[in-house]
Amino acid sequence: MQLQFRRHDLTLAHAWAVAGGAAKLSHPVVFVTLTDADGVVGRGEASPSRRYCETAASAEKFLALVDARRLSFTDLTGSMAYLEALAPGEFAAKSALNLALLDGAAQRTGQPLHNFIGLGFREGRHVTSFSIGIDRPAVIRKKVLAAAEFPVLKLKVGSGHDRENFAALREAAPTKPVRVDANEAWPTKELALENIEWLAADGRVQFVEQPLPATASVADGAWLKARSPLPLFADESYHTAADAARCAECFHGVNVKLCKTGGGANAHAALHAARTAGLQTMLGCMIESSLLITAAAHLAELTDFLDLDGNLLVTDDPFRGVTSTGGVLSFASARKKTGLRVEPAGGGGNFL
C-alpha cells in the first residue's frame, strides 16, 4: 500500500465566522490517497478544527508517522487498530485514512459505499440545510437571498447581534424553517433558556444546536432540556458512541461529523448508538470539499436531519460527487459508481 497526502486551502465564498472565532476567508484541509498493489485508489479528506486542538499541520504530522504497509483494503479492522495505537487524538487525520480504506474496500467489491455498509441510499429523500455564518445584518440578508433554492436554513448565533441577524434572515426568508447553531455561545442555562424562548416565538425554528458549552454539567444540561420549548441538539458534546448516554440526559438529538468521530466507521457507530439511546440524529460537517461531504452522504439513511453543505460554502472545490440541487442530495449524476463515488473535478492532477 502507498500513502500520499497534501494540504489544500479551500477558499470561502464569504467570510465565515461562528461563535467564539474570528472570521476567515479560507480553510485548510488535507487530502489523502491510499493505493494498493492492484492500483485501486482510495481517497480521504481531513478537515481539522482548532476547537478539538487539531490543525492541518498536526494532521500532516500524524500522517507522516503512518507505515502504509500496515494498511489494507481487505483488513479494515486491523488497519484501524494500527492507526488508533499509533497516536492519540488526531481524529480528522484518522477519519481521512478510514474513508480512504472504506473507499478502496468498497471499490474492490464493485459497490458504492452505502451498499457496502448495508444502508443503501434512497434518491429524493435527503435534504440538507444551508448554513449562514455570523455577519452583519445586511450581509446576512444577501446570503439568505443567494440561498433561495435551499428549503431549510441554519443560522449561526452567538455574536451579540443575534436578534438583528435573525430579523435580517426573516426579512429575506419570512417562512423558511430555520435551525439555529449557538456553538457553545451561551455560558449559563438561564441565558440559554431566555434565548431559546425568544427563538421559539418565531414558530419556524426547528431546533437549537449546542446552546451550552460542552463543559457544562449534566445537571445544567438536563435542567435546560426539561424547560426548553425547542429540541436541543448536541454537537461539541457528542464525539463518539460513548457519549450517547450522557447526551440523552441533556439533549433531544446529536450532530455527528466524520472528522469529529474519526471516520465513516465511527460515525456509523455514533449514529446507531444515538438512535438506540432515543436521540434524533443529524449528519453535519466542517468546511469541506465534495470528497468529505460525499463520504458523509453515504450514511444519510441513518439520519433525521442533514447539514452537509461545507462544499457549498467554497469556490474551489477540487472534487465532485454527491450533488445538492434544491437542497436534495443525489448520486444520480455521479459518474463513478463504486466506493465513495467521488472523482477529481479537474482531471486529477497532483495525485488527486
* Residuewise pLDDT in 10s, the chain (352 residues): 999 999 999 999 888 878 767 778 899 999 999 999 999 999 999 999 988 999 999 999 999 999 999 999 999 999 999 999 999 999 999 999 999 999 999 999 999 999 999 999 999 999 999 999 999 999 999 999 999 999 999 999 999 899 999 999 999 999 999 999 999 999 999 999 999 999 999 999 999 999 999 999 999 999 999 999 999 999 999 999 999 999 999 999 999 999 999 999 999 999 999 999 999 999 999 999 999 999 999 999 999 999 999 999 999 999 999 999 999 999 999 999 999 999 999 765 556 6
In terms of residue numbers, what domain contains 99?
2-110
Within this chain, do residues 254 and 305 fall inside the same structural domain, yes or no? yes
Q: Is residue 120 part of a domain?
A: no
Within this chain, do residues 153 and 30 fall inside the same structural domain, yes or no? no
Q: Is residue 224 part of a domain?
A: yes
Q: Is residue 296 part of a domain?
A: yes
Q: Is residue 121 part of a domain?
A: no
Within this chain, do residues 184 and 330 fall inside the same structural domain, yes or no? yes
CATH number of the structural domain spanning residue 260: 3.20.20.120
The beta-strand segments (E) located in the chain are 2-16, 24-35, 41-46, 130-132, 153-156, 178-181, 205-209, 232-234, 253-256, 280-283, 305-306, 319-320, 343-344
Within this chain, do residues 139 and 189 fall inside the same structural domain, yes or no? yes
Q: Are 310 and 291 in contact (CB under 8 A)?
A: no
Within this chain, do residues 236 and 286 fall inside the same structural domain, yes or no? yes
CATH number of the structural domain spanning residue 51: 3.30.390.10
- Measured in Å, how far apart are the chain's first and last C-alpha atoms? 16
Number of domains in the chain: 2
Within this chain, do residues 268 and 332 fall inside the same structural domain, yes or no? yes
Within this chain, do residues 340 and 227 fall inside the same structural domain, yes or no? yes
Q: Is residue 278 part of a domain?
A: yes
